[in-house]
Structure 1
Amino acid sequence: MDVAKDIRFSGLRNSFNTNNLISKTKGDKVIWALVVLLTLVSLLAVYSATGSLAYKNYKGNTEIYLFKQIAFILVGIMVIYFAHLVNYTFYSRVAKIAFGISLVLLFYTLFFGVKMNEGSRWIRLPLINMTMQTSDFAKLALFMYLARLLSKKQDVIKDFKKGFIPVITPVALTCILIAPANLSTALLLGASCLLLLFIGRVSTKHILATIGIALIPIVFLISAAVMRHGKSTNDDVVAPIKKTSSTLFGRVDTWIGRMESFIYGSKQTDNDAYQVNQAKIAIANGGIF
């Protein structure tokens, strides 16, 4: 009887052996560890940030958003696991198609996107009635396509016409399409792509020249914010930022207004400054983690 127990216990222990599980998982173990770590952190962040809202909207049920996040995470981990089993050359083959689809989605979002929090950066999926931020798909598609280009252009990567122009064009096009709806995402994406170009052995002088060109509109926005503040009748704080449309010119005015409020402070209404106020509340109450 004891022998049978030992056999069953030994089998159970082996079935949950961590080393056995890790040995069946391909890829960089550090990346897998980071995925698990960020997943756990996201659960803490979602629960702490949505507890009060869930209590208010769902009659005291403070865990509903947490359970939704867990469901999304489980689906995401399944997708990651099956995706990592696919040969990486497959992603190189589909990168061009994915990038083309991302451009179409970004164009559609720019003109027909769902407006949320004064920004048209989402599209609504008709069958499941959920919203999707197209810039997230565009980032993934761009990284795949850029990696493909860098791999194929290594023989001429230092050449401006044959190497640099073909790899910087999709980056510039994607960032330009994202910027009207989400300038911060476009800037972060551009910076990430420049780092990828540096790793891909692109000429440093070409990268520095690109950074210099990208700084021109940023300097323009800062200068416009300073000039507009100088014309303000209030010397202490700037006037509230007017609600603008999601068109390019409307978004430029919004960017200038945010630069102005960042530099000099703002007396926007709660509705107009919702995102800014929520960010300040999160920073003030967030603590170390």
Structure 2
Amino acid sequence: MRAFFKNIQGDRYIWAVAGLLAIFSFMPVYSASSNLAYLYGDGNTIKFLFKHFAHLMLGFAILYGVHKIPYHYFRGLSIIALPLVFVLLLVTLAQGTTIGGANASRWIRVPLVGFTFQTSTLAGVVLMTYVARYLSRIKDKAITFKETLLPLWGPVFLILALILPANFSTTAIIFAMVTLLVFVGGYPLRYLGIVLGAGLLMLTLFVLSAKAFPGVFPNRVDTWISRVENFSDKTDTEGDYQIERSKIAIASGGIKGLGPGKSVQKNFLPQSSSDFIFAIIVEEWGLVGGFILMGLYLFLLYRLVLVAHKSEGMFSKLLVIGVGLPIVFQALINMAVAVELFPVTGQTLPLVSSGGTSIWMTCLALGMILSVSAKREIKEKDIEENDNPLAVLSEAL
């Protein structure tokens, strides 16, 4: 065990936050999964606990392996991974798994293994890395909007267009994070305004097209609209069943909570172990537990800013911001949804909610951040030859 800890590199506080979140997640996941166990007939909650344990073990194996890779290799790897992400998103859009009879084609089923994988979360990490790479290359150059249109915004809008039909919330979050990243990277504001206007126009055209041809994208646009309407209509107490149950859970928890495993609303919330797990946590652990959990994510944000500040190269700074901020942003959105500060989005609580893809991609992003924060890497400047994907492959082989 001592040898294992000696091989751990990077920011120890980030390691500690990730470990604390993972360890804490077992209790609410085990408690909240009871409704799933009875829903599927056997009433066995242990298998859900073991499944969550397996997801976390694989996730931390990914984290450990990725944090050993020198971060400048992620430059070239982002170019290699981008076309693969395009293909995966196309396959997902065409053959995505439908869950519960709804048009929820966000997952693809991996052959032989049998588990499902949500490709949009991988696309988000790859895209943020690619954007960080591109911005680091143009940081000292005078650019025009035309020069950045295809190499920067082409991949961004293509990936978002492939995610949008099945997952509006993820599309909106990725676009917001890309916008924030290019702003931090010094992209001209006048060009950024053009991009924001174009994004809004494209979204409007998509919604109008989906409403005009409902058979192409069944359920999704109507679902988005109904969620926004339910959120804005405060007098509609039956408009959003999940939000009402979530607020009941939070109100029942009070300051100290009902105690671990004593949640009542877990039996009524459809996504109690994933999308609305924060409500179950507050019900069982009270506002004290909820604020402590929020504090861990905010402390993670502080460490991310510190790592980015200490990094010397532009790519390393933007990489930490690009893959790290979405983790904290997603956590805050999940909490905001539970207390009705935000419409229902379907975003999980990173490293706490059940769900393999979310855990694995969070660990992938944290591994990249820890690679940057490793002392041997912080003291090195970005290596331009590793921007070439062929150089990355040849050195790896």
Structure-1-length-normalised TM-score: 0.72
**Contact 1:110 / 1:120 at 8 angstroms: preserved in 2?**
yes
Distance 1:164 1:37 in 2: 42
Residue 233 (structure 1) aligns with = none
Distance 2:204 2:248 in 1: 29
- Provide closer, same or farther for how the CA distance between residues 197 and 41 of structure 1 changes in structure 2, counting only shifts above 3 A: farther
- Provide closer, same or farther for how the CA distance between residues 154 and 194 of structure 1 changes in structure 2, counting only shifts above 3 A: same
**Contact 2:37 / 2:43 at 8 angstroms: preserved in 1?**
yes
Distance 1:170 1:183 in 2: 18
Distance 2:17 2:143 in 1: 34
- Provide closer, same or farther for how the CA distance between residues 110 and 59 of structure 1 changes in structure 2, counting only shifts above 3 A: closer
Tell me the percent identity.
34
**Contact 2:106 / 2:120 at 8 angstroms: preserved in 1?**
yes
Residue 8 (structure 1) aligns with = none
Distance 1:102 1:163 in 2: 21
**Contact 1:92 / 1:144 at 8 angstroms: preserved in 2?**
yes
Residue 29 (structure 2) aligns with = 46
Distance 1:113 1:29 in 2: 39
State the Cα RMSD in Å: 3.4
Residue 127 (structure 1) aligns with = 112
Does residue 141 (structure 1) correspond to residue 126 (structure 2)? The answer is: yes
- Provide closer, same or farther for how the CA distance between residues 114 and 79 of structure 1 changes in structure 2, counting only shifts above 3 A: same
- Provide closer, same or farther for how the CA distance between residues 220 and 104 of structure 1 changes in structure 2, counting only shifts above 3 A: closer
Residue 19 (structure 2) aligns with = 36
Distance 1:172 1:157 in 2: 23
Distance 2:18 2:69 in 1: 18
Report Cα offsets for 1:1-33 as digits up to 9, x if no partner. Answer: xxxxxxxxxxxxxx65xxx86553222334323
Does residue 175 (structure 1) correspond to residue 175 (structure 2)? The answer is: no
Q: Give the counterpart of 2:187 among 202, 216, 238.
A: 202
- After TM superposition, give the deviation of residue 256 of structure 1 in Å: 3.3
Residue 11 (structure 1) aligns with = none
Report Cα offsets for 1:151-179 as digits up to 9, x if no partner. Answer: 22223365322246522221111111101
- After TM superposition, give the deviation of residue 41 of structure 1 in Å: 4.2
Using CA pairs below 8 Å that are at least 6 residues apart, which structure has the higher relative contact order? 2
Give 1:37's aligned amino acid: L
- After TM superposition, give the deviation of residue 123 of structure 1 in Å: 0.8
**Contact 2:34 / 2:43 at 8 angstroms: preserved in 1?**
no
Structure 1: runs of 5+ lacking an equivalent: 1-14, 229-243
Does residue 70 (structure 1) correspond to residue 53 (structure 2)? The answer is: yes
- Provide closer, same or farther for how the CA distance between residues 70 and 258 of structure 1 changes in structure 2, counting only shifts above 3 A: same
Report Cα offsets for 1:257-284 as digits up to 9, x if no partner. Answer: 44344444899x9xxx9xx534542343
- Count of residues in correspondence between the two structures: 247
| Greater C-alpha radius of gyration | 1
Q: Helix, strand or coil: the match of 2:187?
A: coil
Q: Helix, strand or coil: the match of 1:201?
A: coil
Residue 191 (structure 1) aligns with = 176
Distance 1:48 1:76 in 2: 21
Does residue 27 (structure 1) correspond to residue 10 (structure 2)? The answer is: yes
**Contact 1:92 / 1:145 at 8 angstroms: preserved in 2?**
yes
- Provide closer, same or farther for how the CA distance between residues 221 and 49 of structure 1 changes in structure 2, counting only shifts above 3 A: farther
- After TM superposition, give the deviation of residue 202 of structure 1 in Å: 1.1
Distance 2:76 2:127 in 1: 13
**Contact 1:125 / 1:132 at 8 angstroms: preserved in 2?**
yes
- Provide closer, same or farther for how the CA distance between residues 251 and 68 of structure 1 changes in structure 2, counting only shifts above 3 A: closer
Structure 2: runs of 5+ lacking an equivalent: 250-278, 291-397
**Contact 2:96 / 2:105 at 8 angstroms: preserved in 1?**
yes
Residue 197 (structure 2) aligns with = 212
Distance 1:249 1:216 in 2: 21
- After TM superposition, give the deviation of residue 136 of structure 1 in Å: 1.4
- Provide closer, same or farther for how the CA distance between residues 24 and 283 of structure 1 changes in structure 2, counting only shifts above 3 A: farther
Residue 357 (structure 2) aligns with = none
Report Cα offsets for 1:120-145 as digits up to 9, x if no partner. Answer: 11111111111111111211221222
Q: Give the counterpart of 2:228 among 259, 284, 287.
A: 259
Distance 2:68 2:162 in 1: 32
Distance 1:252 1:91 in 2: 36
Q: Helix, strand or coil: the match of 2:45?
A: coil
Q: Helix, strand or coil: the match of 2:18?
A: helix
- Higher mean displacement: 277-286 or 193-202: 277-286
Residue 83 (structure 1) aligns with = 66
**Contact 1:43 / 1:66 at 8 angstroms: preserved in 2?**
yes
Residue 116 (structure 1) aligns with = 99
